[in-house]
Amino acid sequence: MKGIILAGGKGTRLYPNTISVSKQLLPIYDKPLIYYPLSVLLLANIRDILVISSPEAIGGYKHLLGDGSRIGVHIEYAVQEQPRGLAEAFLIGEQFIGGDSVCLVLGDNVFYGQYFSGLLQQAKEQVQESGAAIFGYPVTDPSAFGVVEFDEKHHVISIEEKPAEPKSNYAVPGLYFYNNDVIAIAKNIRPSARGELEITAVNNEYLRRGQLRVTVMGRGMVWLDTGSPKGMHKASGFVKTVQEMQGFYISCIEEIAWRRGFIDDRQLRKLGEELKMTEYGQYLLSLAG
């Protein structure tokens, strides 16, 4: 399975912070925002990754992440000239995806939970069995989100965008798993009224085919949207609190790569030495022993 991080857009809700800096390069407490979606792909054991961003911002991601070899993965880059919708990621990434299945994660979503790796594996299995898997996250105000309705076997019944009368209290976060049909589906959907290739249109086509499943993120899972200054502040506060209380780092890509066997003790120690003047680097060195 291949992985795509969509880190495009202008981040206008975060102006003036994002006038000269891409949103996903801004910090969530002690690490760049893009580390959080990247960690999702690593936890899913996805090692072939495409980062999509704007022409102005793509160089920053290349400088930050390189080719991925320092954490034992392969990272490529592609440009989205204008924000034309989430589903355009599959057209931009067609050659990268090739004949594989694919996971798309939005660059401004933060996930955390003890059983998250198991949920990711479950979604990958659902793709093999059915064709597509999305997630459902319980919220108190579902009318503010895309809402998924499903049966007891986790077959999706309906998806609605910000409905006045939600049919469930499960919102759909920015994390999607699809088989290779997603490329052809994305090519055949029409732009919405706002001129974008909507991910909802992709999901509705899988739903029409009876191939869309949902993985439920229940109690103990955290999903944070960082699309506003308040969202960024809230996410930073959450990460700070958990790390200080538990001593474990959230979305530390070097640690995940090491625990997944992508890199060895020597490489982890080297990465820690490069950052030894920071608490982040000291944490890596404590892991390496």
| Average pLDDT of the segment spanning 91-99 | 97
Q: What is the pLDDT confidence band of residue 239, given thresholds at 50, 70 and 90?
A: very high
- What is the per-residue pLDDT for 11? 76
Report yes or no on whether pTM surpasses 0.85: yes
% of the chain residues with pLDDT over 70: 100
- What is the per-residue pLDDT for 193? 80
Q: What is the pLDDT confidence band of residue 289, given thresholds at 50, 70 and 90?
A: confident
**Which of 119, 117, 121, 87 is CA-nearest to residue 104?**
87
Q: What is the pLDDT confidence band of residue 30, given thresholds at 50, 70 and 90?
A: very high
- What is the per-residue pLDDT for 191? 86
Residue 170's DSSP bridge partners are: 138
| Average pLDDT of the segment spanning 247-257 | 97
The pairing of beta strand 156-161 with beta strand 146-150: antiparallel
Tokens in use for 114? 């003890």
| Average pLDDT of the segment spanning 276-284 | 96
Superfamily of domain 2-251: Spore Coat Polysaccharide Biosynthesis Protein SpsA; Chain A (3.90.550.10)
| b/e code 135-173 from CB counts within 10 Å (16+ = b) | bbbebeebeebbbbbbeeebebeebbeebeebebebbbb
Which of 32-36, 63-67, 138-142, 205-209 has the lowest average pLDDT? 138-142
CB 42 within 8 A of CB 16: no
| Average pLDDT of the segment spanning 218-234 | 89
Q: How many CA atoms lie within 13 A of 33 on its CB side?
A: 32
- What is the per-residue pLDDT for 227? 82
- What is the per-residue pLDDT for 103? 98
Q: Which residue has the higher pLDDT, 36 or 198?
A: 36
CB 197 within 8 A of CB 118: no
